[in-house]
Every structure is written in structure tokens, then in C-alpha cells.
């Protein structure tokens, strides 16, 4: 008899986005003339930078000629891209990362989801609340949790991000082995300082733990004092893995390219305490299960590192940050407490009421779709998330309508 992985039965239905869709569709059906503005989703709306399109097209043309055609590429990614990433995103900022420590992939979603495979099933995991759900669900699938009760899985240490702690969780009370952190954060938009991040790195070193640092939104960081990478922090090379993506940096959500940095000095242990290279394990996993990103896409990603590419990608980020600043300023002016929107595309708003009730109010009174915070975890209750990924005109209109509806 074929049996299923019963851990899948513990997963909660991905209620959040389907419920948002259901309520939005229902409202639209009842109000066919209403022009709904969606500030809920985390997908970019602007086209790819022109340099990426040109590099993409040149890459495709090369595939059409026998002399330049390429078949299977290196599983870790082409060196031309990994060298640029290491030099620009790390060495230029004083972080000691080399090209052989970069693994190019088709998404930070896949990498943050797959990485747990190389660790033991009985390790103890710490996960933020509220959270990007992939970290949690992939550990549920792997059998690292008990049942779901009262909104939480048994066996997980939740790292509460609240108004009281400024949305930077405190260090976990007990020993944990694998810690997920995400800054700038989705959904709260909070950022972490170097000294705060140092305490996490020190904790990991003291406890032989490992930090999985999701920096998918690093390109939104404008404040020069904030770390863009965990590898700007002393001692992180031994205890951290970092995930980055071209999705939000350069509009690649539909094109697919990201990378994960696993330093060669990063160590994990067997049950009897023997140290092993995490880099080697991840290399083994990727070369067995992953076929690399297509050549033209890697050329398109490489173009982000040219001087025009950097300018064009920056223009995209500036575009969304202008939206974010407007949303934050106007919502704060209405008397609501906000986080994010400064070094992040997300604005986390304290609605002081049930987050679905707030969602309904914005939808019915302003025709604006947000994301209710409760969908990201228990600590998200009372909050909503607005996203800056839309065009200026829509954001301006949404703000006018929200002001009318809430004041």
C-alpha cells in the first residue's frame, strides 16, 4: 500500500491569499463599478531593466548558434555571475565572500524551503512570528513539528516580533539549532541594526547553532548604517547562510533568479559531534537535485551589475520606495502607528482592531485590498500590511480613498 507523508496533513490550508481573493471577488460582484486597488500582494509591477532585457536577448541568440550554444550549465551557476555577485554585493561592502560560496538558483523561496533538508529531523527550530510562511511549512512537511494547536505548531520556538520589542525578536530562551531571520522583514518591514544582528551571531556561535538569513529585500535599505548582509557582522561566516534574490531587486519575479551564500567555514555536526562543511552538503544537494538557472536568465542577472544595470535597478527600487514613503507618511498622519516603508517596500500598520475587520473596512469603504496581519502568524493580529508594489497613480488614489474612509 502506498503511504503518504502524513506530515503534509498537519499543514494549514493557505487560507490567507485565497480568503483575500474570495472577499475581494465577492465585493467586486456586489459593486461591479468599483475600481479596486490591490496593495496586498508582494509582487513587483514594473518591467525588467532595459539592460537585463538586452542581455537576456543576447543570451537567447547565443543558444541559437552551434558555436555559442550551451547545454547543461554548472549546478552552482556560471562563474561570470557568481564572480560579479561576490565582488559587488559582498567584497565591495567589506564582507569576505568568494564566488565559490555563491549558489545561483531559481528563487529564494525554493532555497529557504529546501535548505532544511541537509539538517537532522530532530533539530530544534526558531521561526519568527509573523513570518513568511515558507520557513514554517517546509519544516512541517519534513516532520520537525507536532500538531497545530491554537494557531501554532508544537515543537517550534516562535520568535515574537511585537510593538513591545520594536519587531526585533528577543534571543530564544532555550537552545535552538536552526534560526530563521528575515531583514528587511516580510511582513513587518522592520530592519535590524548591526549591533542587534551581532547578538544573534554571537548567540549562534555560543550554541553551535546556524542562522538562515533571508535578505530578499536588502536592496530597499537606504540607511548606510544598516547591514545589507549578515556577512558584514563579525563571526557570521561560521554560523550563517544568506538568501538573496533578483526578484525584488531587479523585477525578476517572473524571470526567476536568486542566490544563496554558504561560506566554506560554515559548520554543522553529526550526532556524535563530528564537524562537517555545510557548503559541501548544500553543493551535494544542489548538484543532485537542481539543474541550474537557464543561461539567458543568468546573463540577464549579470547585467544588473553593469553600471547602467545598477542605475536601472536603483531606479526601480526608488520608484517603489517613493510609494512606500507616501503610504507611511499619510497613514501616520491619520494617527496610525506604522513600521517599515523606509528601508522596505512593506508598511506594517497597527490597526488596533481585528486584522480581518480592518481588511473589510478598507475594502468596503476605500476599495483597497491590504493583507491582514493575522495571516502571517499570531503576532500579526491587530495589524495589516500594505505593499508599495504598484504604480504611483494607483498608490496616490488608494491613499486619497483611505484618508476619506478612515478619517
Give residues in contact with ligand PLP (CB under 6 A).
42, 107-109, 112, 132, 182, 186, 214, 216, 245, 247, 253, 258
The values of phi and psi at residue 214, to 5°, are: -95, 110
Q: Which of 391, 407, 393 is nearest to 331 (CA)?
A: 407
Containing 83, the helix (H) or strand (E) segment is helix 79-85
Give whichever of 42 and 351 is closer to ligand PLP, judged by the CB atom.
42
* Alpha-carbon span 116 to 212, nearest angstrom: 10
Task: Specify whether the CB–CB gap between 345 and 387 falls below 8 A.
Answer: yes
Closest contact distance (angstroms) between CB of 215 and ligand PLP is: 9
Closest contact distance (angstroms) between CB of 43 and ligand PLP is: 8
* Alpha-carbon span 333 to 59, nearest angstrom: 49
* Alpha-carbon span 5 to 170, nearest angstrom: 34
Give whichever of 52 and 399 is closer to ligand PLP, judged by the CB atom.
52
Spatial CB neighbours of 392, under 8 Å, sequence gap ≥ 6: 319, 322, 323
Task: Specify whether the CB–CB gap between 156 and 145 falls below 8 A.
Answer: yes
Closest contact distance (angstroms) between CB of 64 and ligand PLP is: 28
Closest contact distance (angstroms) between CB of 206 and ligand PLP is: 26
Closest contact distance (angstroms) between CB of 198 and ligand PLP is: 22
Give whichever of 182 and 368 is closer to ligand PLP, judged by the CB atom.
182
Give whichever of 186 and 312 is closer to ligand PLP, judged by the CB atom.
186
Closest contact distance (angstroms) between CB of 352 and ligand PLP is: 25
Burial class (CB within 10 angstroms; exposed 0-12, middle 13-18, buried 19+) of 58? middle
Task: Specify whether the CB–CB gap between 203 and 196 falls below 8 A.
Answer: no
The 10 Å Cβ neighbour count of residue 154 is 11
Strands 152-153 and 148-149: antiparallel
Task: Specify whether the CB–CB gap between 275 and 269 falls below 8 A.
Answer: yes
Strands 267-269 and 275-277: antiparallel
Cell of 278: 555545510
Give whichever of 107 and 367 is closer to ligand PLP, judged by the CB atom.
107
Closest contact distance (angstroms) between CB of 247 and ligand PLP is: 3
Give whichever of 132 and 320 is closer to ligand PLP, judged by the CB atom.
132
Closest contact distance (angstroms) between CB of 12 and ligand PLP is: 18
Give whichever of 218 and 342 is closer to ligand PLP, judged by the CB atom.
218
Q: Which residue is nearest to ligand PLP (CB)?
A: 107
Give whichever of 114 and 330 is closer to ligand PLP, judged by the CB atom.
114
Give whichever of 200 and 366 is closer to ligand PLP, judged by the CB atom.
200
| Distances 301 to 18, 93, 133, 146, 218 between C-alpha atoms, Å | 32, 20, 26, 40, 16
The values of phi and psi at residue 149, to 5°, are: -135, 140
Closest contact distance (angstroms) between CB of 46 and ligand PLP is: 15
Burial class (CB within 10 angstroms; exposed 0-12, middle 13-18, buried 19+) of 152? middle
Give whichever of 247 and 390 is closer to ligand PLP, judged by the CB atom.
247
Closest contact distance (angstroms) between CB of 292 and ligand PLP is: 15
Burial class (CB within 10 angstroms; exposed 0-12, middle 13-18, buried 19+) of 91? middle
Amino acid at each position: 500500500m502506498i503511504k503518504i507523508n502524513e506530515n503534509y496533513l498537519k499543514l494549514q490550508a493557505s487560507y490567507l491569499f485565497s480568503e483575500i481573493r474570495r472577499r475581494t471577488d465577492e465585493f467586486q460582484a456586489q459593486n461591479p463599478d468599483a475600481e479596486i486597488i490591490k496593495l496586498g500582494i508582494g509582487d513587483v509591477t514594473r518591467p525588467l531593466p532595459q539592460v537585463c532585457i538586452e542581455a537576456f536577448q543576447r543570451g537567447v541568440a547565443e543558444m541559437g548558434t552551434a558555436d555559442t550554444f550551451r547545454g547543461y550549465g554548472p549546478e552552482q551557476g556560471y562563474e561570470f555571475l557568481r564572480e560579479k555577485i561576490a565582488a559587488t554585493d559582498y567584497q565591495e561592502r567589506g564582507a569576505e565572500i568568494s564566488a565559490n560560496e555563491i549558489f545561483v538558483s531559481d528563487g529564494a523561496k525554493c532555497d529557504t524551503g529546501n535548505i532544511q533538508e541537509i539538517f537532522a529531523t530532530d533539530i530544534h527550530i526558531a521561526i519568527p512570528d509573523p513570518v513568511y510562511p515558507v520557513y514554517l511549512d517546509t519544516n512541517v512537511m519534513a516532520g520537525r513539528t507536532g500538531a497545530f494547536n491554537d494557531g501554532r505548531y508544537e515543537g517550534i520556538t516562535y520568535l515574537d516580533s511585537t510593538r513591545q520589542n520594536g519587531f526585533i525578536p528577543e534571543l530564544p530562551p532555550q537552545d535552538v539549532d536552526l534560526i530563521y531571520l528575515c531583514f528587511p522583514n516580510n511582513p513587518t518591514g522592520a530592519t535590524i541594526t548591526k549591533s542587534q544582528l551581532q547578538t544573534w551571531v554571537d548567540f549562534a556561535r555560543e550554541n553551535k547553532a546556524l542562522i538562515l538569513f533571508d535578505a530578499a529585500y536588502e536592496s530597499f535599505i537606504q540607511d548606510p548604517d544598516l547591514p545589507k548582509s549578515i556577512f558584514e557582522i563579525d563571526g557570521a561566516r561560521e554560523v550563517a547562510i544568506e538568501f538573496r534574490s533578483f526578484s525584488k531587486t531587479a523585477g525578476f519575479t517572473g524571470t526567476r533568479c536568486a542566490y544563496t551564500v554558504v561560506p566554506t567555514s560554515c559548520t554543522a555536526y553529526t550526532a556524535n559531534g563530528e564537524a562537517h562543511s555545510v557548503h559541501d552538503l548544500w553543493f551535494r544537494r544542489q548538484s543532485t537535485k537542481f539543474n541550474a538557472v537557464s543561461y539567458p536568465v543568468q546573463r540577464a542577472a549579470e547585467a544588473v551589475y553593469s553600471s547602467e544595470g545598477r542605475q536601472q535597478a536603483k531606479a526601480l527600487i526608488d520608484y517603489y520606495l517613493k510609494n512606500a514613503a507616501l503610504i507611511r507618511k499619510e497613514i501616520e498622519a491619520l494617527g496610525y502607528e506604522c513600521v517599515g516603508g523606509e528601508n522596505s517596500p512593506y508598511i506594517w500598520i497597527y490597526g488596533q482592531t481585528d486584522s480581518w475587520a480592518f481588511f473589510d473596512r478598507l475594502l468596503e469603504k476605500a476599495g483597497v485590498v491590504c493583507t491582514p496581519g493575522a495571516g502571517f502568524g499570531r503576532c500579526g493580529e491587530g495589524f495589516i500590511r500594505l505593499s508599495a508594489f504598484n504604480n504611483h497613480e494607483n498608490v496616490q488614489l488608494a491613499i486619497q480613498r483611505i484618508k476619506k474612509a478612515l478619517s
